[in-house]
Structure formats: C-alpha cells, structure tokens
Amino acid sequence: MGVFAGILIGALVGILHNKYCDTEFKGVLSIYSGHRFVAILAIPSAMILGALAAEFWPIAQNGITAMANGIRSLGNAGFLIYGFMERILIPTGLHHLVYTPFLYTELGGTATIAGETIHGARNIYFAEMADPSVAVLSSTVNWDARGLAKMFGLMGAALAMYVTAKKEKKAMAKAILVPAAFTSFLLGVTEPLEFAFLFTAPILFVLHAVLAGTGMMLLNIFGVHAIGANGVIDFLLYNLPLGTTKSNWPMFILVGLIMFAAYFIIFRFLILKMNLKTPGREEGAAVSLKPAAAGTAKSGTAAAPGTNSSPLGETIVTALGGSENIESVDNCYTRLRLVLKNPEAVNEEVLKETGSKGVIKSGNNVQVVYGLNVKSVRDQVDKRLGGLNYENI
C-alpha cells in the first residue's frame, strides 16, 4: 500500500485527535487525558484499519494491476497513456500508483541478468548497468523515462510563459519561472513550475500531461534506451559512463529537443489565443516580494504589530481575513499552510496579486501556493503578525 497506507493512518489520527484531544479524566487517570488519550486510541484503531486493509486492498490492487496490464498491452499507445496518467495525477500525489508497478514488478518487464531473474524496469536497468556483458540496455528502461518532460518539455513551457508575459511584469515572471525551471531541469522536481500554471490555466496542465505521454511514446518508437527518470544530474551520472552504445543517450537529447520545441510552440499559441493568466499575465499591479524597510507599512494602512512589517505581509494577512482570523501559519516547499477561523473570509483575487498561484481549502485548513519563494512570504506574514509563534500544531 506504500504511501497510501500513510495517508490513511494520517487521516485516522487526525480524526481521533479532533474528536478526543480535549478529553479529560479525573483522579489517577488524568495522566491519560488529552493528546495521550489520542495516542492510546490510535494504536488499536490502526491495528483494526490494518486488518480491514487486508480485506479491501487486494480489490484495489487488482484494479491497479488490471489497469497496468491494459496499458502495457497497448504498445506505443500504452506509453502515451502511462505518461499522461503519471503527470495528470501529480496534484493528487497519487502518481506513484501508476509508475511504481512498472518500476518494481513484472509489469515493467522481466529479464535474466547474470543468471538472476529481475522484475521491473528500474531493477532491470540497474542490473544491466552493473553487468559488463550487457551490450545494450533493454527497452523497458522507457517506463522510467519520466525525466524527458522534466528536463526538456517544461523548459519549453517556462520559456513560452516568459515571452508571453506582459512587458511590465517580465521581471516578476522571470523571478518565478527561472528558479522553478532550473529545479525541474537539474533535479527533476517539477511541482514549483507545474503549480505556476496549474491553477491559473488548468488546460495547460492537461496539455502538459498529454505531451509528457507523447514524449515517452516517441522514445519507444525511436528505440531510445537511455536512463532518464529525473533531472539532468541523474541523466549524466547514469548514462555517460555507459557509453553511447549501451545507452544511446544522444537520441534521448534529440527527442528532448523536439519536445522542448513542441511545448514552447503549443504553450505560446494557447496562452496568447486564450489569454491565459500565466505568470506575468495576471490582472492588476504586481506586489513586490521584497520586505519593506523596518517600521514601514502600506500607504493608508496602520503600521503592523511587527517591527519589520512589509507591504506584502500586510496585504496577505488582510486578504486572509486579518490577524484575528489566523490560528496557525506554516509552510512547505511551495505552499503557505494556514488554519483559519473562517476560510470564507479569504480574498483570493488579492492573494493572486501577491504572487499566489492558487488557494486550496479543506475545512479550516487553507493552502496558498506561492512556489519557491514561499519562505520569504512566510517570513513577512510572521512579521506582520508581530513576530509571534502562530504555529501551534
């Protein structure tokens, strides 16, 4: 069950915590009150969940296996569908349900290498890399060629978004797109760049998923057998030592350049034709992401409680319903994570003017997507809130 089991356990503990964290006992049992009581309940509850999973998960797993077998049986078209599904599920975090069976089970191929039977695309190419008697990597390596879109496709998308940005906002667009593009190209971490257009232009994300699958199909059609799971660092370390015969990596680059051009031309056309609000094309004036000088605040507003309050922090806190509406502030790699008393008080249009790419609500939990600059945004929000520790989770 992998990551999905962790999601279930997390949800279970969250439910138990919300329901029983305020439970109080008297006398000798008082030591088991509150959070301790939640921990006591979580252990047997998790055991029950595990027993139930033994019954329902085989049904889900059979469905996943049937889907994977169907994809594999379609030949070149199967690579297109596989690549499309792997990308389209990125926002949900469930993309691993697509590629994991191909990388580590017989769905990704079976090969006998050095007298040992190996299952799974990734296991096969690691074994072939280590065996000098293998002259050419197997074509099963293409089930792990997800790096094509990461290294080349998204670079074309980023360039298209930059050249179509409004003249007065190109600097802002560059500040967002360049770091995100390099993160994708070097390391294969695509979320900062994909989230730059996922919420404002979802049709581009669907197109991105289609093109990602198309690229993987082309690799199989052209007989490319280079390793390309993530960014360019992995690509160079895995392929160059093998040589161009065992790993025909120059062909991977050639297909990548074709995909770069395809992404750029199609993204640019659709952005201009449909007037999509990609970075640098949003309505309204851009808000500076740089902190203001100490003690300053937005014109026409009261000075913030913090000694280093900034216009950006003031604007974001106001758009979130004011400091009295904020119970908790945290951040992850690309998102500002908050717990609000009244999520309906959020002004999403104002947040977009501050550089937000989207707002996700789930009960009182609100996530505001900013990208790689989220730490700077979090710092300015904290200063506006008076430098207090609002992270109470």
- Residues involved in catalysis: 332
> Running DSSP on this structure, what letter comes out for residue 287?
P
**241, 133 contact by CB (below 8 A):** no
338, β-bridge pairs = 329, 366
3-state secondary structure of 364: coil
**Burial of residue 92 (number of CB atoms within 10 Å: 0-12, 13-18, 19+):** exposed
Please give the Cα distance from 262 to 277 (Å, whole number): 20
**155, 182 contact by CB (below 8 A):** no
Please give the Cα distance from 243 to 213 (Å, whole number): 27
Joined tokens for residue 337: 């994570």
**278, 164 contact by CB (below 8 A):** yes
Phi/psi of residue 74, nearest 5 degrees: -90, 0
Please give the Cα distance from 150 to 138 (Å, whole number): 22
3-class SS letters over 46-114: HHHHHHHHHHHHHHHHHHHHHHHHHHHHCCHHHHHHHHHHHHHCHHHCCCHHHHHHHHHCHHHCEEEEC
3-state secondary structure of 3: helix
